[in-house]
Amino acid sequence: IRRNAGEPEFHQAVHEVLESLGRVVAKHPHYLDQALIERICEPERQIIFRIPWTDDAGQVQINRGFRVQFNSALGPYKGGMRFHPSVNVGIIKFLGFEQTFKNALTGMPIGGGKGGSDFDPKGRSDAEIMRFCQSLMTELHRHLGEQTDVPAGDIGVGGREIGYMFGQYKRLNNRFEAGVFTGKALVYGGSRARTEATGYGNTYFVESMLKTNGTDFDGKTVVVSGSGNVAIYSIEKVQSFGGKVIACSDSSGYVLDENGIDLALLKDVKIQRRERISEYARRRGQGAHFIACDKGTIWDVPCDVAMPSATQNELSGKDARMLVKNGVIAVGEGANMPSTPDAVKVFRTAGVLFAPGKAANAGGVATSALEMQQNASRDSWSFEQTETRLASIMRGIHDTCYQTADDYGAPGDYVLGANIAGFVRVAESMRMLGVI
């Protein structure tokens, strides 16, 4: 704790994984050798740098950039970039740590990393975003490479930002190295279904969980927090499975739409126009209401399935108790660590089917690995082919977590299953690579 002072999110993520490992080391004490667990909690490398850029008024602005290269035992570091004013080294470390186990769960040859900046893209012009991305990449490019470290998107980083960062990387290196970034647009080496993958993947995972309990999404009432990339494509897939999504949100509040979210309108408000969620309620009219964040939380809305897809610690113990009281049967974490430890405890104690983020939202990075495969073979797969692979990867992750929980005497505990299965794969590789 002293070595990682002032990093509560990192402590929280490490604590949750270590809590699950008691059963593993009881069965396989060799994982205690060679300080393996201590090494797995220590990032291999952390880069912190200055990002100077000029705004539209001619004023020089300074932001801080981060890249935490957490673990490369299974392959090149892989994980997104986040642009949000709350970003600090502790948040990037928690995300990189989670990413290491998530990537292991996909079964693909990718290590774990994460990066970002405390830059706030809200209200910035296109030209400002471009200058910022170029300045960031002017430093970061020397630390990346398709065999070294492969970033992607996250909060505040979508196709536009990835384009600007990749463009600057290409210019500085004088190399068209498509596999150095994922989440690229189709026209310059992106993969079909990558944009949709995290939201679709979480929905496939929850569908598998519901099926183990003899049910499915059809006719269920669903609440999805956030209205960004993960939320929008979760809503799309849930609707295609027959579920009715009645609420979504952004950081200003949430909308409750009794008739079910109108996805085309939501995409227009959030993707095309980049407006606030209250605009959705205003344009939708009857049956849709906007509730500001100081007037209530989205978790007060009664539902069968909850899919927190905004940010870390957005769902508290109190929220979880309300969801349980209202009869929730399943929770799928689209975001990274959206439920507080207290909330996770409430769900597990109440017997709610609970899919932890590192398993449920792995569809994005899995499809990123498919994008790397397509780049390496200079190929481009159809949407159907890519989605079929994604669906089978998500069912595979579900089954691995389910089976592992069973093997370790905790049937139905997906948190334990995900932590143990992810840990064992990374730990096995680290043992074979020696003390490095």
Could you tell me which stretch among 123-131, 169-177, 215-223, 329-337 binds ligand NDP (CB under 6 A)? 329-337
Rounded to whole angstroms, the Cα distance separating 107 from 191 reads 19
267 is catalytic: no
Could you tell me which stretch among 44-52, 284-292, 334-342, 398-406 binds ligand NDP (CB under 6 A)? 334-342
In the bound complex, what is the minimum distance in angstroms from residue 158's beta carbon to ligand NDP? Answer: 6
Rounded to whole angstroms, the Cα distance separating 326 from 301 reads 8
- Judged by beta carbon, residue 151 or residue 417, the one nearer ligand NDP is 151
Catalytic residue among 114, 170, 237, 358: 114
Nearest partner of 99 among 81, 114, 87, 82, judged by Cα: 114
| Helix, strand, coil tally for the chain in percent (to 5) | 50, 15, 35
Looking at residue 299, the DSSP 8-state letter turns out to be G
In the bound complex, what is the minimum distance in angstroms from residue 24's beta carbon to ligand NDP? Answer: 25
- Judged by CB under 6 A, the residue of 118, 154, 177, 319 near ligand NDP is 154
Identify residues 396-425 at the interface with ligand NDP (CB under 6 A): none
Could you tell me which stretch among 130-138, 248-256, 316-324, 411-419 binds ligand NDP (CB under 6 A)? 248-256
- Judged by beta carbon, residue 336 or residue 374, the one nearer ligand NDP is 336
Q: What is the DSSP string of 415-427?
A: HHHHHHHHHHHHH
In the bound complex, what is the minimum distance in angstroms from residue 408's beta carbon to ligand NDP? Answer: 25
- Judged by CB under 6 A, the residue of 112, 116, 226, 243 near ligand NDP is 226
Residues 6+ apart with CB under 8 A from 26: none
- Judged by CB under 6 A, the residue of 206, 291, 335, 418 near ligand NDP is 335
Q: How many CB atoms lie within 10 A of CB 293?
A: 13
Q: How many CB atoms lie within 10 A of CB 287?
A: 12
Rounded to whole angstroms, the Cα distance separating 269 from 232 reads 11
Rounded to whole angstroms, the Cα distance separating 109 from 116 reads 23
Q: Rule CB under 6 A: is residue 386 a binding residue for ligand NDP?
A: no
Q: Rule CB under 6 A: is residue 308 a binding residue for ligand NDP?
A: no
- Judged by beta carbon, residue 95 or residue 323, the one nearer ligand NDP is 95
Binding mask 179-218 for ligand NDP (x = CB under 6 A): -------------------x--------------------
Rounded to whole angstroms, the Cα distance separating 402 from 433 reads 29
Rounded to whole angstroms, the Cα distance separating 386 from 429 reads 28
In the bound complex, what is the minimum distance in angstroms from residue 29's beta carbon to ligand NDP? Answer: 34
In the bound complex, what is the minimum distance in angstroms from residue 379's beta carbon to ligand NDP? Answer: 22
Q: Rule CB under 6 A: is residue 251 a binding residue for ligand NDP?
A: yes
Produce one character per residue of 393-427: b if its CB has 16 or more CB atoms within 10 Å, e if not: bbeebbebbbebbeebebebbbbbbbbbbbbbbbb
Nearest partner of 133 among 114, 156, 110, 107, judged by Cα: 156
Rounded to whole angstroms, the Cα distance separating 86 from 1 reads 21
Residue number with the shortest CB distance to ligand NDP? Answer: 228
In the bound complex, what is the minimum distance in angstroms from residue 416's beta carbon to ligand NDP? Answer: 21
Q: What is the set of active-site residues?
A: 114
Binding site for ligand NDP (CB under 6 A): 153-156, 198, 226-231, 250-252, 309-311, 314, 334-336, 361, 364
